Amino acid sequence: MIGLTEVELAGLEPVIDARKMTSDVSDKYENIVIPIGNAGESQAGDNAGLKGGEGMSLDALMRLRQSALNRR
């Protein structure tokens, strides 16, 4: 795979402004489970019932998620 070139990176702004969802996702990803550290809680579709998160740091997002999961 060829990464994005400097020219493509420089011209990304209009691409991002015109962002849209593409539909060509394989069905095999519907029930995907990502095997990382907290594997028992790592169902990809589980947001622990939380919404928002804009402006929060990565650590804050992870702490909130963890505490929401612990309350279950």
Partner 1 sequence: MSLVAILAYSIVILWLVITLLAQHRHFQPFINAFNALHIIPRWTFFAPNPGVRDYHLVIRDRCSDGRLASWKSVPVYSPRPKFGYFWNPQKRSSKILNDAVQAIKLLLKRENIGISGIPFTVPYLLLLHYAAHAVPPEPDAVEFQIAIIESSGHDARTLECSFLSGFHGR
Supply the minimum distance, in Å, between the C-beta of residue 39 and partner 1.
Answer: 10
Question: What is the CB neighbour count within 10 angstroms for residue 26?
Answer: 6
Q: How many CA atoms, within 13 angstroms, populate the side-chain half-sphere of residue 6?
A: 0
Residues 17-56, mask of contacts with partner 1 (x by CB under 8 A): -xxxxx-xxxxxxx-x-xxx----xxxxxxxx-xxxxxxx
For residue 67, state whether it binds partner 1 (rule: CB under 8 A). Answer: no
Supply the minimum distance, in Å, between the C-beta of residue 71 and partner 1.
Answer: 13
DSSP 55: T
Supply the minimum distance, in Å, between the C-beta of residue 15 and partner 1.
Answer: 5
Tokens representing 33?
């489970």
